[in-house]
Structure 1
Amino acid sequence: MKRIVIALLAALLYQGSYAQQQIVLKGTIKGDLKGYNKMYIYSRTYHDSAVITNGHYTINIPFKEPVFLMLYPEYIQAQRQMYVPFGILMDKPVTYTVTSDIEKGMSASVVKGSEAVELLQAYTKTKETAWKQVRETLKKEFGQPWMDEKSPRHVEFETRQKALQQEHLVPLLQQLVKQHPNSFAAVFSLGEAREMMSADQQERLYADLSPAMKQTKEAMEFHQFTEGIKNSAVGKKVKNFTLPDEKDQSLSFSQFKGKYVLIDFWASWCSPCRQSFPHMREVFQQYKDQHFDIYSISIDKSKADWLKAVAQENNPWKQALDNINIAGSGFAITGVPTTYLISPDGEILMKEVGFEPDGSGAIEKKLAELFGGAAKPGAKPAAATKTMKAVPMTPMQ
């Protein structure tokens, strides 16, 4: 009990000591901006900008908790140059400096400030070298460093890729956490483990964190995700959970008992999610009278954005906002859209990541098998004619 109290106090001191403070981001950018003198900074829930004067700019950011924000120069947008997203982890209300060169690209920028951002930058470079080894090996063995999901060798390719990640990338992340258990850089990097590490490996990774870091929101959500891997296995029974609907009324999953339920995890900012809804409405209309229902759960961090999207889509099934991280703790969601088909007695039957607009997805085939027939194809936008992959969830939105 004493250890738990100490850990909680440490976490509160870590988070509470920064209340009502701000981050100062000072940037220097070398090169000809061709008159496009703005620097944008953003995340899914934050947007701001600054004017670049004589190669310098300053952005003040209110600090409530650690953030990961992306920098986007106006000249790249104006000249339609290819942009590789460049983000900065800012875990403390201190001054961060960013030194960039137009000719080298934003990804070559040097960031200084807290220990965490500098540690993360060094780790990222080491990781890039490891990824290069993975890609070169895949190219040598398969003729290319990537493979389309519809390729007959895709399963073989994916298995080999995961093995190479275990060999080259997993040890780097394990070393980072073990050597820097009290750094937010270690906590931030945990998200990488969701795709390439087993549940047991993830548990050991979490165990290596310091007591204070274990109590951060990001670390606790990672720990919940590990539990979600176990909870969401096919054949498992869904544990009852309650979320608020768009009218702030409590919606319990037990209300769906006795029906086949398609649980749809989505977000207002997810284009494939929004594009999937017209066809999902067709599926709903076809099967709604056969003990079938759809339940959409949004992972939005902004309630206002979620409510706006709900109103715009006007879907004829129940909606809820995930304010307790059921996406992680119950279903181990790594990207949206992701759907689960649940049996009338609450058993997980299938999982599907992404969306097939032509009705050829595994879950739709199962529905046709259960109820007979197939979803009637309808008019779809040009953007929805091909398989749409899930949009990955970021560690910090």
Structure 2
Amino acid sequence: MKKITTSARILLLFTALSTGAYAQQKTVVIKGTVVGDTRGYNRMDMYSRNPDRYDSMNVVNNTFSGEVPFEAPYRLLFASLHDSKVRGGYAPQAILIDKPGTYHVVATIDSNGTHYSSVDGAAQQVYAAFSAEQDKAWETIEKAMKQKYGEDVMKSLYGKNPNAAAATDMETMEKAATAKLVQRHVSKHPGSYASAVILQRNSGSLDSKTLTTLYERLTPGIKALREGEAIKTEIAARKLSANGATPADFTLMNEVEKAVKLSDYRGKYLLIDFWASWCGPCRASFPHMRELYAQYKDKNFEILSISTDRDKAAWLKAVKDENNPWPQAHDAKSEVSKNTFNVQVLPTLFILDPKGKIIAQKLEGGDLDKKLKELMP
């Protein structure tokens, strides 16, 4: 038997230690602490969309823990049973996971719900700094709104009859503030996973030129991530979905598994409605859309509703419940909505002319009625 030299033993030991350390670091370990009263609702939910995964953790002595695989950087979302039961709902919050290892998460419960933070992970720290600055910007905007429109303006914006001028003002200020913060943080941290997340999730506040410029500043490794690819797709889709553009033909299936092609509607004015069964505002808009359909269906006009539901059964149930008298289609993977029409929020509407060219989009409220009346008096 060949004798192993001392140097060889050292090399084997080093390799074993390195391999063991690498194997241990292929997971993400969550060690959580709860600050505040759970009121006996001792469960934390932890999930992600990519990879698509859900885990539930019990809270024992104000602590919780879990372990999940790591393949690539992603957003790990947290939600508490406390918020679901006490507040009647929850807003999931993310901790950015940019590498394997242990992340200490603090879940702080106060009168506004549960808030999550972590001092671990370089990307999380960049994102936390961005979020803190954004919160301060929102506070400044809220003060400006109250000074201009009165102390009750914020409540009125979420009422049945919001002040349209105030809503427009607030949206303008928020977009300007967000654009400024995004440009600063992405330019400062082009190699951080946080920059890809910040850019993707706030792209709606940026014009196409700025979005493209910031995307180009990202390092190749960050561009290759899921969020980086999504930004690239959005840049291309913005060009494809601009007014004056003619979207490429596509084929989707309807509720009875028959093909629906965009080209089927050439020769008519076509209102494309992107929606989902879970989208309250989408479904609330249907009664008025049915009125518009009855008014214009005999004037060379059609509506095509395209659902982005991931859950086919939920979509089919909603189609049956709504019983809308126009064609339906299912875009389960959001390939048409994202890649062709750059749909970022639901509902989103587009109007195509008889030649298939986009002539209007993102119409809200009375804007849709006004545009249809203009096209088909």
TM-score by length of 1: 0.73
Of 97, 101, 105, the match for 1:98:
105
> Aligned pair in 2 of structure 1 residues 252, 161: CA closer, same or farther (>3 Å)?
same
Moved more, 111-120 or 153-162: 153-162
> Aligned pair in 2 of structure 1 residues 34, 152: CA closer, same or farther (>3 Å)?
closer
Q: Is structure 2 residue 303 aligned with structure 1 residue 294?
A: yes
Could you tell me the percent identity over the aligned residues? 32
1:37/1:75 contact within 8 Å kept: yes
Of 338, 342, 353, the match for 1:332:
342
> Aligned pair in 2 of structure 1 residues 185, 22: CA closer, same or farther (>3 Å)?
same
Question: What are the Cα deviations for residues 62-112 of structure 1, in whole angstroms up to 9, with x where unaligned?
Answer: 556544344332233333388665332334454322123335866654314
Moved more, 326-335 or 38-47: 38-47
AA aligned opposite 2:42? N
Moved more, 78-87 or 183-192: 78-87
1:338/1:352 contact within 8 Å kept: yes
Partner of 2:142, secondary structure, is helix
Of 57, 74, 81, the match for 1:74:
81
> Aligned pair in 2 of structure 1 residues 153, 285: CA closer, same or farther (>3 Å)?
closer
Alignment of 1:1-397 (within 5 A): 23-42=28-47, 47-61=54-68, 63=70, 66-80=73-87, 85-103=92-110, 109-143=116-150, 146=154, 148=157, 151=163, 153-154=165-166, 157-158=169-170, 161=173, 165-166=175-176, 168-234=177-243, 236-246=244-254, 251-303=260-312, 305-307=314-316, 309-310=318-319, 312-315=321-324, 316-321=326-331, 323=333, 325-354=335-364, 356=365, 361-368=366-373, 370-371=375-376
Q: Following the alignment from structure 1 to structure 2, what is the Cα–Cα distance between the partners of residues 174 and 118?
A: 17
2:141/2:170 contact within 8 Å kept: no
Q: Following the alignment from structure 1 to structure 2, what is the Cα–Cα distance between the partners of residues 273 and 134?
A: 28
AA aligned opposite 2:279? C
Gapped regions of structure 1 (runs ≥ 5): 1-16, 373-397
Q: Following the alignment from structure 1 to structure 2, what is the Cα–Cα distance between the partners of residues 159 and 30?
A: 34
Q: Following the alignment from structure 1 to structure 2, what is the Cα–Cα distance between the partners of residues 25 and 353?
A: 44
Between the two structures, name the one with larger relative contact order (CA 8 Å, sep ≥ 6).
1
2:42/2:81 contact within 8 Å kept: yes
Partner of 1:102, secondary structure, is strand
Cα shift at 1:271:
1.6
2:308/2:330 contact within 8 Å kept: no
Moved more, 283-292 or 99-108: 99-108
Question: What are the Cα deviations for residues 235-275 of structure 1, in whole angstroms up to 9, with x where unaligned?
Answer: x0322231431466654322210011110011232122233
In the alignment of these two chains, the number of paired residues is 345
Moved more, 39-48 or 181-190: 39-48
Q: Following the alignment from structure 2 to structure 1, what is the Cα–Cα distance between the partners of residues 89 and 310?
A: 28
Gapped regions of structure 2 (runs ≥ 5): 1-21
> Aligned pair in 2 of structure 1 residues 184, 248: CA closer, same or farther (>3 Å)?
farther
Q: Following the alignment from structure 1 to structure 2, what is the Cα–Cα distance between the partners of residues 24 and 302?
A: 30
> Aligned pair in 2 of structure 1 residues 175, 112: CA closer, same or farther (>3 Å)?
same
TM-score by length of 2: 0.76
Q: Following the alignment from structure 1 to structure 2, what is the Cα–Cα distance between the partners of residues 122 and 249?
A: 49
1:339/1:353 contact within 8 Å kept: yes
Partner of 1:335, secondary structure, is coil
